[in-house]
């Protein structure tokens, strides 16, 4: 019944994807990119959709937009080798250095955060039971026939091992969901973005960053973002020259 | 208000000398001059007090003027004082002159040694020579020359502007005239009443002769007499729209100094200007300035009114600087290189490539560095000619300015190039062009780049896109290497409406909080239980103790009555109560067998009593040899033993 209700929507989505892929196949890359953007706007993000959009942008010659969407696809599917392959190819074509994830980053990001949450929840439950059990240790010992000192040792072991394990799992979980990550953006300005000394149009230029380069956002001021590019290269760029990898993250105050 | 700066100055004068040892610097500028030229000898004493300084007389060198100025600065939490004595010398004949060494004695007792200075004097000044005007005594004749290049030292002493135009015309309505005198050795312009102006601005460009787009360093000195000093809330701006000025990169350098025995606060900015079009243009600056017109007391009856209730009445008006005429020339079109991008200055260019060996398709990084003095906004990456052997990419750049005016800098460019064929492939010949305003000609600098060893085979030609799409970006506009892109995914994938990380959702933190609360609740429960447990145990212990005591009394009464059955019943129950309390068991559950299972030794001790009790209670047999008094003692000993044991 549920499938029957959803069927028209699924059919509609599939037809939209078909149209976007057809445009891509026939070489209408701008049109293909527009259709993929439309699907994402209405149905949401997914790794395959971002990947397809990035392919269309790359074929259309929009290096910055292509790298941006490859980065988004990689964010959603960190272990996907195809995404990384196309991303590195796009970066190479833009004259940028490769930025593949290292094995441990892939391992960390590939495991869903709920796994770590589950382990942490189990640890916390054990700690809870150990704490309660400590209160009723004599009764439990009498009921189970287990010597009281042994029972108390078991409870203590659970507490001493469970608390650090819990903290570790919490840290890993936060790392997996990107709590420690800094806000990143990709230069989408055609060819290059001008880096300025201060956040004003009249400020002196202190350099340029090529299109497609990944930069970390440090601060913002009106229509300008203070960024750190490679080699601790700091400066202000116009907000419109940079698109966030995680859509909407520029609206959040950087930590 | 008025007392404060004086107090600061007094403190500075009285305390600085004790903070650091006196030091001395000396300078003769220029070291070579013509007869009749002014030569400036500057002797500066830091952290030392000197009233007067006499220059030794040298035959053939006439002392044309002398002035002294004291600067007191408060920097990094410490005060420092510097007194500069400036002597304008005019050589009367050619030859080599030596100003002999001499000593200076400070009030603090320090002896500073001034070294001998030599001066080479040539013959009369040739007609075409531009004599550099002395900082404190610019020559009207010299400054009116069309190509005057003034000495520019951003950190040097206060200098008078070049007076290539009429004296500054700014004459505010309040009489705060900024009419700048051109007399020698006078730094402050005069008010209409002849006294030094309260407020004035002096601008000093590095040159008044420039080219369109050239960055000209400019020094701006804003002076305000300390007795009228007030907080300012604006910055100097250029009058008119003939020039563009760089934004001030730092706050003005503030200091307090003496000019003509008047104490002035001085704020100095170093910046640069450029002209967008050619012609002769007036250059002057203006600043909206607040100054203290008068001070009134708010309450004349207040005994502290003179100190705490003083009110400064401020005047506000735009103060205009001295006006100069800038001669701006158009860049010559003849001989302009094709790759000229508007860079003007004296520049050095270097380039290097790395690595020296790559595979086909791998990038080679080209690093270009342009350094020197010039308009770095117009400095672009050195150009590489098109070459089928190399694919070039958009360079990134980075500028490190070396001074406040942003005219001295090191600009670096990083550009990636990718070889398209193998073998020993020379990099395209890079070059950089700029205009040198000194030699007034274009300069093209070839940048030698090494040959790169390229291994591997060239990439196969990408196949053209299929289909006949009307998209303008299809086919020809598509970069060829994108043919290596892996194909599209056809599935929709797992959709999510937002890429926002889960930790931005409130429910995530609610779940985390709930989990963390679990052990905390357990700990809270334990805490509450531990607080209530002692009372519970005490009550239970007291109850059991009362029961044991009751059984003891029952034993004694039974002995008195000679009731054997009652005695053994009470004795056994008393022992069961006591043991039950120790082992946390019900007394009735403590049979001899149970006691033996837990403590065999104790069971052996208790066995006679328990056996006798069973025999008396269940069989009713009471033998004549039963000595109840002895059994009572035995029972009490057992109870005592258990109490001690527990």
Q: Inform me whether the C-beta atom of residue B466 falls under 8 Å from chain A C-beta atoms.
A: yes
pLDDT at B88 over 80: no
Q: Cβ of B526 and A131 within 8 Å?
A: yes
User: Mean of the pLDDT values across residues B129-142?
Assistant: 33
Q: Inform me whether the C-beta atom of residue B494 falls under 8 Å from chain A C-beta atoms.
A: yes
Which of these ranges, A24-33, A57-66, A119-128, B530-539, has the smallest mean pLDDT? B530-539
CA B56 from centroid of its chain's CA atoms = 48
User: Mean of the pLDDT values across residues B509-524?
Assistant: 88
Residues of B in contact with A26 (CB under 8 A): 466-469
Q: Cβ of A128 and B522 within 8 Å?
A: yes
- For residue B245 the two structure tokens come to 């000025």
User: Mean of the pLDDT values across residues A63-71?
Assistant: 95
How far is the alpha carbon of B425 from chain A, nearest alpha carbon, in Å? 19
**Range of B294-308, B383-397, B426-440 with top mean pLDDT:** B426-440
Residues of A in contact with B390 (CB under 8 A): none
Q: Cβ of B498 and A45 within 8 Å?
A: yes
Nearest to B526 among A82, A134, A206 (CB): A134
pLDDT tens string A102-140: 888 888 888 888 899 999 999 999 999 998 888 888 888
Phi-psi sector, B467: left (phi>0), alpha (psi -120 to 50), beta = left
pLDDT for B537 equals 66
Tell whether the torsion through CA atoms of B479, B484, B485 and B491 is positive or negative. Answer: positive
How far is the alpha carbon of B214 from chain A, nearest alpha carbon, in Å? 15
A residues 133-152 lying closer than 8 A (beta carbon) to B = 134-135, 138, 142
pLDDT for B161 equals 34
C-alpha B475/C-alpha B404 separation (Å) is 50
pLDDT at B71 over 90: no
How far is the alpha carbon of B309 from chain A, nearest alpha carbon, in Å? 41
pLDDT at B183 over 70: no
Cα B96–Cα B98–Cα B100 angle in degrees, nearest 5: 170
Which of these ranges, B121-125, B253-257, B335-339, B500-504, has the smallest mean pLDDT? B121-125
pLDDT at B14 over 50: no
B residues 345-364 lying closer than 8 A (beta carbon) to A = 361, 363
Residues of B in contact with A181 (CB under 8 A): 501
A residues 41-80 lying closer than 8 A (beta carbon) to B = 43-49, 51-52, 55, 58-61, 72, 75-76
Given pLDDT bands bounded at 50, 70 and 90, which one contains residue B273?
Answer: very high
More confident residue, B628 or B571: B571
C-alpha distances out from residue B614 to B550, B603, B631, Å:
21, 15, 14
- High-pLDDT (> 90) share of chain A, %: 45
pLDDT at B198 over 80: yes
Q: Cβ of A61 and B504 within 8 Å?
A: no
pLDDT tens string B454-491: 887 765 443 333 333 333 333 333 344 555 888 888 88
pLDDT at B260 over 90: no
Complex ipTM, two decimals?
Answer: 0.79
pLDDT at B64 over 80: no
Given pLDDT bands bounded at 50, 70 and 90, which one contains residue B617?
Answer: confident
Given pLDDT bands bounded at 50, 70 and 90, which one contains residue B201?
Answer: very high
Q: Cβ of A51 and B488 within 8 Å?
A: yes
Nearest to A209 among B247, B396, B501 (CB): B396
pLDDT at A226 over 50: yes
DSSP string, A130-164: HHHHHHTHHHHHHHH---HHHHHHHHHHHHHHHHH
CB B363 within 8 A of CB B387: no
pLDDT for B44 equals 84
Phi-psi sector, B240: left (phi>0), alpha (psi -120 to 50), beta = left
Mutate to test the interface with B, among A31, A184, A210 (most CBs of B within 10 A): A210
User: Mean of the pLDDT values across residues B291-319?
Assistant: 70
Residues of A in contact with B398 (CB under 8 A): 195, 206-207, 233
Q: Would you say the pTM of this structure is higher than 0.90? A: no
DSSP annotation of B465 reads P
Q: Inform me whether the C-beta atom of residue B476 falls under 8 Å from chain A C-beta atoms.
A: no
pLDDT for A253 equals 60
- For residue B239 the two structure tokens come to 């009058």
C-alpha distances out from residue B160 to B183, B239, B405, Å:
10, 20, 19
CB B575 within 8 A of CB B531: no
pLDDT for A41 equals 93
Q: Inform me whether the C-beta atom of residue B406 falls under 8 Å from chain A C-beta atoms.
A: yes
Residues of B in contact with A233 (CB under 8 A): 398
User: Mean of the pLDDT values across residues B254-276?
Assistant: 84
More confident residue, A178 or A77: A77
Residues of B in contact with A35 (CB under 8 A): none
pLDDT for A225 equals 92
pLDDT at B76 over 50: yes
CB B32 within 8 A of CB B119: yes
pLDDT for A64 equals 94
Q: Inform me whether the C-beta atom of residue B250 falls under 8 Å from chain A C-beta atoms.
A: no
User: Mean of the pLDDT values across residues A60-82?
Assistant: 93
A residues 216-235 lying closer than 8 A (beta carbon) to B = 229, 233
Q: Cβ of A252 and B526 within 8 Å?
A: no
pLDDT for B156 equals 34
């Amino acid at each position: 019944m549920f499938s029957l209700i959803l069927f028209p929507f699924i059919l509609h989505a599939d037809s939209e994807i078909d149209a976007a892929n057809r445009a891509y196949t026939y070489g209408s890359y701008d049109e293909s990119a527009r259709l993929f953007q439309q699907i994402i706007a209405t149905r949401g993000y997914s790794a395959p959709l971002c990947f397809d959009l990035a392919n269309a942008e790359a074929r259309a010659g929009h290096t910055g937009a292509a790298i941006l969407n490859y980065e988004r696809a990689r964010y959603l599917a960190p272990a996907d080798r195809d995404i990384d392959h196309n991303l590195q190819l796009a970066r190479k074509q833009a004259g940028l250095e490769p930025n593949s994830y290292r094995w441990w980053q892939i391992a960390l990001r590939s495991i869903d955060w709920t796994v770590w949450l589950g382990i942490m929840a189990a640890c916390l439950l054990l700690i809870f039971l150990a704490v309660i059990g400590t209160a009723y240790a004599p009764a439990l010992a009498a009921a189970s026939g287990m010597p009281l000192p042994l029972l108390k040792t078991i409870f203590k072991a659970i507490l001493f091992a469970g608390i650090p394990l819990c903290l570790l799992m919490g840290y890993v979980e936060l790392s997996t969901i990107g709590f420690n990550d800094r806000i990143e953006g990709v230069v989408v300005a055609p060819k290059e973005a001008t880096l300025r000394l201060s956040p004003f149009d009249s400020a002196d230029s202190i350099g340029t960053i090529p299109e497609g380069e990944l930069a970390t956002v440090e601060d913002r001021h009106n229509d300008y973002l203070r960024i750190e590019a490679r080699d601790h290269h700091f400066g202000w760029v116009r907000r419109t020259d940079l698109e966030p990898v995680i859509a909407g993250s520029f609206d959040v105050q950087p930590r | 208000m008025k007392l404060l700066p004086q107090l600061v100055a007094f403190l500075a004068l009285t305390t600085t000398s004790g903070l650091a040892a006196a030091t001395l610097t000396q300078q003769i500028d220029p070291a070579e001059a013509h007869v009749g030229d002014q030569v400036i000898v500057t002797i500066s004493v830091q952290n030392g007090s000197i009233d007067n300084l006499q220059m030794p007389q040298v035959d053939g060198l006439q002392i044309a003027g002398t002035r002294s100025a004291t600067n007191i600065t408060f920097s990094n939490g410490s005060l420092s004082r510097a007194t500069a004595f400036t002597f304008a010398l005019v050589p009367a004949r050619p030859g080599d002159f030596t100003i002999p060494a001499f000593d200076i004695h400070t009030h603090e007792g320090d002896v500073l040694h001034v070294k001998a200075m030599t001066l080479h004097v040539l013959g009369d000044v040739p007609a075409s020579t531009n004599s550099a005007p002395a900082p404190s005594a610019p020559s009207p004749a010299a400054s009116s020359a069309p190509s005057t290049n003034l000495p520019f030292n951003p950190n040097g002493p206060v200098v008078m502007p070049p007076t290539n135009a009429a004296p500054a015309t700014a004459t505010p309505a309040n009489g705060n005239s900024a009419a700048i005198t051109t007399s020698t050795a006078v730094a402050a312009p005069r008010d209409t009443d002849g006294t030094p102006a309260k407020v004035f601005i002096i601008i000093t460009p590095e040159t008044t002769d420039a080219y369109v787009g050239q960055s000209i360093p400019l020094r701006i000195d804003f002076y305000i007499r300390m007795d009228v000093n007030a907080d300012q809330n604006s910055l100097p701006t250029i009058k008119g729209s003939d020039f563009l000025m760089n934004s001030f990169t730092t706050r003005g350098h503030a200091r307090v100094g003496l000019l003509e025995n008047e104490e002035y606060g001085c704020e100095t900015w170093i910046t640069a200007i450029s002209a967008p079009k050619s012609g002769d243009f007036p250059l002057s600056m203006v600043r909206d300035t607040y100054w203290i017109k008068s001070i009134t007391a708010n309450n004349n009856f207040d005994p502290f009114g003179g100190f705490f209730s003083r009110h400064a009445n401020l005047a506000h008006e735009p103060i205009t600087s001295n006006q100069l005429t800038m001669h701006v020339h158009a860049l010559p079109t003849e001989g302009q290189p094709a790759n000229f991008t508007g860079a003007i200055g004296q520049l050095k260019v270097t380039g290097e490539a790395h690595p020296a060996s790559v595979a086909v398709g791998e990038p080679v990084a080209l690093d270009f560095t342009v350094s020197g003095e010039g308009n770095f906004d117009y400095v672009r990456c050195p150009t590489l000619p098109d070459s089928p052997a190399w694919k070039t990419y958009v360079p990134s750049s980075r500028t490190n300015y070396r001074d406040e005016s942003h005219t001295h800098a090191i600009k670096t460019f990083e550009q990636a190039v990718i070889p398209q064929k193998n073998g020993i492939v020379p990099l395209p010949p890079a070059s950089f062009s700029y205009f040198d305003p000194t030699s007034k000609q274009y300069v093209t600098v070839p940048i030698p780049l090494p040959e790169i060893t390229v291994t591997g085979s060239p990439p196969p030609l990408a196949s053209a896109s299929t289909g006949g799409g009307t998209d303008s970006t299809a086919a020809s506009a598509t970069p060829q290497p994108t043919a290596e892109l892996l194909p599209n995914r056809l599935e929709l994938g797992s959709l999510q409406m937002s890429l926002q990380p889960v930790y931005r959702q409130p429910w995530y933190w609610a779940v985390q909080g709930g989990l963390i609360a679990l052990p905390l609740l357990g700990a809270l429960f334990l805490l509450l239980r531990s607080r209530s447990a002692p009372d519970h145990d005490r009550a239970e212990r007291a109850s059991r103790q009362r029961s044991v005591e009751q059984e003891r009394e029952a034993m004694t009464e039974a002995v008195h009555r000679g009731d054997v059955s009652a005695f053994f019943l009470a004795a056994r129950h008393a022992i069961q109560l006591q043991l039950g309390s120790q082992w946390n068991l019900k007394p009735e559950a403590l049979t001899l067998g149970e006691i033996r299972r837990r403590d065999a030794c104790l069971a052996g001790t208790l066995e006679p009593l328990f056996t006798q009790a069973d025999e008396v209670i269940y069989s009713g047999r009471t033998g004549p040899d039963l000595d109840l008094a002895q059994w009572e003692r035995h029972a009490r000993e057992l109870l005592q033993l258990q109490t001690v044991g527990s």
